[in-house]
Amino acid sequence: MSNNAMKLEVSKKLSQFDNNIEYGFCNKSTKMSIYHKIITLKQVHSKLVQRVDSNTDCTNLQGDALITDTPGVLIGIYTADCVPVLLYDKSKSVIGAVHAGWRGTFSDIISETITAMKSCYNSDPEDIISVIGPCIGLCCFEVDGDVATKFIEKYEETDSFIYPNGEKYMMDLAQINKQSLKHTGVSNIEVIEICTKCDLGYHSFRREGAGVGRQLSFIGIKI
Protein backbone atom coordinates (compact mmCIF):
# COMPACT_ATOMS: atom_id res chain seq x y z
CA MET A 1 0.00 0.00 0.00
CA SER A 2 1.84 3.03 -1.25
CA ASN A 3 -0.77 5.77 -0.93
CA ASN A 4 1.01 8.55 0.95
CA ALA A 5 -2.26 9.70 2.46
CA MET A 6 -2.24 6.58 4.62
CA LYS A 7 0.83 7.70 6.51
CA LEU A 8 0.92 11.10 8.13
CA GLU A 9 3.75 13.52 7.60
CA VAL A 10 4.41 12.97 11.30
CA SER A 11 4.70 9.21 10.78
CA LYS A 12 8.17 9.38 12.34
CA LYS A 13 6.20 8.99 15.56
CA LEU A 14 5.55 5.43 14.41
CA SER A 15 9.23 4.72 13.85
CA GLN A 16 9.19 2.07 16.55
CA PHE A 17 6.85 -0.03 14.42
CA ASP A 18 9.27 -2.32 12.60
CA ASN A 19 9.22 -3.26 8.92
CA ASN A 20 6.92 -6.21 9.59
CA ILE A 21 4.03 -3.85 10.32
CA GLU A 22 1.71 -2.18 7.83
CA TYR A 23 -0.34 0.70 9.21
CA GLY A 24 -2.16 3.88 8.38
CA PHE A 25 -4.13 6.79 9.79
CA CYS A 26 -6.27 7.75 6.82
CA ASN A 27 -7.88 11.10 6.11
CA LYS A 28 -10.32 12.56 3.59
CA SER A 29 -7.91 12.18 0.69
CA THR A 30 -7.23 8.46 1.15
CA LYS A 31 -8.45 6.33 -1.75
CA MET A 32 -11.50 4.26 -0.84
CA SER A 33 -10.28 1.28 -2.88
CA ILE A 34 -8.12 -0.01 -0.04
CA TYR A 35 -10.97 -0.31 2.47
CA HIS A 36 -12.32 -3.68 1.29
CA LYS A 37 -9.06 -5.36 2.24
CA ILE A 38 -9.39 -4.48 5.92
CA ILE A 39 -11.42 -6.26 8.62
CA THR A 40 -13.66 -3.80 10.45
CA LEU A 41 -16.68 -4.19 12.71
CA LYS A 42 -19.93 -2.48 13.58
CA GLN A 43 -18.81 -0.04 16.25
CA VAL A 44 -21.24 0.33 19.13
CA HIS A 45 -19.39 2.54 21.66
CA SER A 46 -18.74 -0.43 23.93
CA LYS A 47 -15.81 -2.18 25.61
CA LEU A 48 -16.20 -5.30 23.46
CA VAL A 49 -13.00 -6.69 21.92
CA GLN A 50 -13.07 -9.13 19.00
CA ARG A 51 -10.29 -11.61 18.22
CA VAL A 52 -10.06 -12.26 14.48
CA ASP A 53 -8.01 -14.25 11.97
CA SER A 54 -8.13 -15.06 8.26
CA ASN A 55 -11.15 -17.36 8.77
CA THR A 56 -13.30 -14.97 10.80
CA ASP A 57 -16.78 -14.24 9.44
CA CYS A 58 -17.01 -10.49 9.90
CA THR A 59 -20.52 -10.07 8.50
CA ASN A 60 -22.15 -9.28 11.85
CA LEU A 61 -19.07 -8.50 13.92
CA GLN A 62 -19.76 -5.90 16.61
CA GLY A 63 -17.52 -4.18 19.13
CA ASP A 64 -14.95 -1.43 19.34
CA ALA A 65 -11.60 -3.18 19.22
CA LEU A 66 -9.95 -5.87 17.13
CA ILE A 67 -6.91 -8.02 17.90
CA THR A 68 -5.03 -10.62 15.87
CA ASP A 69 -1.70 -12.38 15.48
CA THR A 70 -2.36 -13.54 11.93
CA PRO A 71 0.04 -12.24 9.25
CA GLY A 72 -1.72 -10.78 6.23
CA VAL A 73 -4.84 -9.79 8.18
CA LEU A 74 -5.40 -6.04 8.29
CA ILE A 75 -7.67 -4.75 11.06
CA GLY A 76 -9.13 -1.28 11.31
CA ILE A 77 -11.58 1.07 12.97
CA TYR A 78 -13.44 4.17 11.78
CA THR A 79 -13.49 7.52 13.54
CA ALA A 80 -14.71 11.07 13.03
CA ASP A 81 -13.47 12.74 16.26
CA CYS A 82 -13.25 9.61 18.43
CA VAL A 83 -9.82 8.30 19.37
CA PRO A 84 -8.09 5.67 17.18
CA VAL A 85 -5.44 3.62 18.96
CA LEU A 86 -3.10 1.19 17.21
CA LEU A 87 -1.24 -1.43 19.26
CA TYR A 88 1.70 -3.68 18.43
CA ASP A 89 3.28 -6.31 20.65
CA LYS A 90 6.71 -6.55 19.07
CA SER A 91 7.63 -9.66 21.07
CA LYS A 92 4.61 -11.85 20.30
CA SER A 93 3.76 -10.23 16.93
CA VAL A 94 0.25 -9.28 18.02
CA ILE A 95 -1.66 -6.20 16.90
CA GLY A 96 -4.75 -4.30 17.99
CA ALA A 97 -6.96 -1.49 16.70
CA VAL A 98 -9.19 0.39 19.13
CA HIS A 99 -12.08 2.84 18.66
CA ALA A 100 -12.39 4.95 21.81
CA GLY A 101 -15.21 7.48 21.92
CA TRP A 102 -16.00 9.03 25.28
CA ARG A 103 -18.32 6.13 26.17
CA GLY A 104 -15.75 3.51 25.24
CA THR A 105 -13.06 5.47 27.02
CA PHE A 106 -15.18 5.66 30.17
CA SER A 107 -15.93 1.91 29.89
CA ASP A 108 -12.19 1.09 29.77
CA ILE A 109 -12.01 -0.17 26.18
CA ILE A 110 -8.22 0.26 26.36
CA SER A 111 -7.90 -1.91 29.45
CA GLU A 112 -10.20 -4.53 27.93
CA THR A 113 -8.08 -4.66 24.78
CA ILE A 114 -4.79 -5.05 26.62
CA THR A 115 -6.37 -7.72 28.83
CA ALA A 116 -7.55 -9.57 25.71
CA MET A 117 -4.07 -9.43 24.19
CA LYS A 118 -2.66 -10.85 27.41
CA SER A 119 -5.22 -13.65 27.74
CA CYS A 120 -5.36 -14.62 24.05
CA TYR A 121 -1.71 -14.24 23.10
CA ASN A 122 0.20 -13.95 26.38
CA SER A 123 1.23 -10.39 25.56
CA ASP A 124 3.29 -8.44 28.07
CA PRO A 125 2.22 -4.76 28.28
CA GLU A 126 5.88 -3.79 28.51
CA ASP A 127 6.35 -5.10 24.96
CA ILE A 128 3.38 -3.21 23.50
CA ILE A 129 3.91 -0.11 21.36
CA SER A 130 0.87 2.16 21.20
CA VAL A 131 0.00 5.09 18.96
CA ILE A 132 -2.94 7.39 19.59
CA GLY A 133 -4.01 8.85 16.26
CA PRO A 134 -5.76 12.04 15.14
CA CYS A 135 -8.91 12.80 17.15
CA ILE A 136 -10.81 15.75 18.51
CA GLY A 137 -8.54 17.78 20.75
CA LEU A 138 -8.87 19.45 24.10
CA CYS A 139 -9.36 22.69 22.17
CA CYS A 140 -12.65 21.49 20.67
CA PHE A 141 -14.15 18.66 22.71
CA GLU A 142 -16.81 20.36 24.83
CA VAL A 143 -19.05 18.20 27.03
CA ASP A 144 -21.93 18.72 29.42
CA GLY A 145 -21.45 18.64 33.15
CA ASP A 146 -22.93 15.16 33.55
CA VAL A 147 -20.33 13.65 31.21
CA ALA A 148 -17.48 15.55 32.86
CA THR A 149 -18.70 14.48 36.30
CA LYS A 150 -18.54 10.81 35.29
CA PHE A 151 -14.85 11.15 34.48
CA ILE A 152 -14.04 13.38 37.45
CA GLU A 153 -15.54 10.79 39.79
CA LYS A 154 -13.74 7.92 38.01
CA TYR A 155 -10.22 9.36 37.90
CA GLU A 156 -8.22 10.65 40.85
CA GLU A 157 -6.54 13.53 39.04
CA THR A 158 -8.32 15.18 36.12
CA ASP A 159 -6.84 18.70 36.04
CA SER A 160 -4.65 17.82 33.07
CA PHE A 161 -7.48 16.63 30.82
CA ILE A 162 -10.76 18.17 32.06
CA TYR A 163 -11.39 21.80 32.87
CA PRO A 164 -14.49 24.03 33.14
CA ASN A 165 -15.50 26.30 30.28
CA GLY A 166 -18.45 28.36 31.40
CA GLU A 167 -21.35 25.98 32.01
CA LYS A 168 -19.59 23.28 29.99
CA TYR A 169 -16.30 21.41 30.25
CA MET A 170 -13.43 20.81 27.85
CA MET A 171 -12.03 17.29 27.80
CA ASP A 172 -8.88 15.72 26.34
CA LEU A 173 -9.82 12.20 25.20
CA ALA A 174 -6.35 11.43 23.86
CA GLN A 175 -4.73 12.11 27.22
CA ILE A 176 -7.36 10.08 29.09
CA ASN A 177 -6.62 7.12 26.84
CA LYS A 178 -2.90 7.67 27.32
CA GLN A 179 -3.46 7.49 31.06
CA SER A 180 -5.49 4.31 30.60
CA LEU A 181 -2.63 2.75 28.64
CA LYS A 182 -0.20 3.63 31.41
CA HIS A 183 -2.48 2.06 34.00
CA THR A 184 -2.41 -1.22 32.07
CA GLY A 185 1.39 -1.24 32.09
CA VAL A 186 1.97 0.12 28.58
CA SER A 187 4.66 2.79 28.71
CA ASN A 188 5.65 3.05 25.04
CA ILE A 189 3.02 5.56 23.92
CA GLU A 190 3.00 8.08 21.09
CA VAL A 191 0.29 10.71 20.58
CA ILE A 192 -0.25 12.29 17.17
CA GLU A 193 -1.46 15.74 18.11
CA ILE A 194 -3.84 16.53 15.27
CA CYS A 195 -7.34 17.76 16.13
CA THR A 196 -9.85 16.34 13.66
CA LYS A 197 -12.24 19.24 14.19
CA CYS A 198 -9.61 21.91 13.59
CA ASP A 199 -7.97 20.18 10.62
CA LEU A 200 -10.27 20.30 7.59
CA GLY A 201 -8.45 17.33 6.09
CA TYR A 202 -10.26 15.03 8.49
CA HIS A 203 -13.89 14.10 8.96
CA SER A 204 -15.35 15.57 12.15
CA PHE A 205 -18.77 14.88 13.62
CA ARG A 206 -18.54 18.00 15.77
CA ARG A 207 -17.76 20.16 12.75
CA GLU A 208 -19.89 18.53 10.04
CA GLY A 209 -22.78 16.98 11.96
CA ALA A 210 -24.88 13.91 11.17
CA GLY A 211 -24.01 12.08 7.97
CA VAL A 212 -20.34 12.93 8.26
CA GLY A 213 -17.84 10.54 6.71
CA ARG A 214 -15.35 8.47 8.66
CA GLN A 215 -11.60 7.99 8.39
CA LEU A 216 -10.00 4.61 8.78
CA SER A 217 -7.07 3.70 11.01
CA PHE A 218 -5.60 0.26 10.38
CA ILE A 219 -2.71 -2.04 11.20
CA GLY A 220 -1.51 -5.42 9.97
CA ILE A 221 1.38 -7.87 10.16
CA LYS A 222 3.03 -8.37 6.80
CA ILE A 223 3.24 -11.90 5.43
Bridge partners (DSSP) of residue 89 are 94, 128
* Residue 44 to residue 135: CA distance in whole angstroms: 18
Cβ atoms of 113 and 65 within 8 Å: the answer is yes
83-89: strand order across its sheet: 49-51, 65-68, 94-100, 83-89, 128-132, 188-191
Cβ atoms of 173 and 141 within 8 Å: the answer is yes
Cα angle for residues 178, 184, 187 (degrees, 5° grid) = 55
Instruction: Produce one character per residue of 170-183: b if its CB has 16 or more CB atoms within 10 Å, e if not.
Output: bbbbbbbbbbbbee
DSSP the chain: ---GGGS-TTGGGGTTS-TTEEEEE--TTS-GGGGGGEE--EE-SS--EEE--TT---TT-EESEEEE--TT-EEEEEESSSEEEEEEETTTTEEEEEEE-HHHHHTTHHHHHHHHHHHHH---GGGEEEEE-SB--TTT-EE-HHHHHHHHHH-S--TTTEEEETTEEEE-HHHHHHHHHHHHT--EEEE---BTTT-TTS--HHHH-TT---EEEEEEE--
Those residues with Cβ within 8 angstroms of residue 118's Cβ, 6 or more apart along the chain or in another chain: 124, 125
The pLDDT of residue 94 is 98
The pLDDT of residue 6 is 42
* Per CATH, domain 4-221 is 3.30.429.10: no
* Residue 4 to residue 108: CA distance in whole angstroms: 33
Cβ atoms of 123 and 99 within 8 Å: the answer is no
pLDDT per residue of the chain (223 residues) written in tens, 0 to 9: 334 334 444 444 455 677 889 888 988 887 666 566 799 999 999 999 999 999 998 889 999 999 999 999 999 999 999 999 999 999 999 999 999 999 999 999 999 999 999 999 999 999 999 999 999 999 999 999 999 999 999 987 888 899 999 999 999 999 999 999 999 999 999 999 999 999 999 999 999 988 889 999 999 999 8
The pLDDT of residue 32 is 60
Q: How many residues does the chain have?
A: 223
Cβ atoms of 66 and 56 within 8 Å: the answer is no
The structural domains of the chain, with segments of one domain joined by +, span 4-221
Predicted TM-score (pTM) of this structure: 0.92
Summarised one tens digit per residue, pLDDT across range 90-104 is 999 999 999 999 999
The pLDDT of residue 35 is 60
The pLDDT of residue 100 is 98
The pLDDT of residue 163 is 93
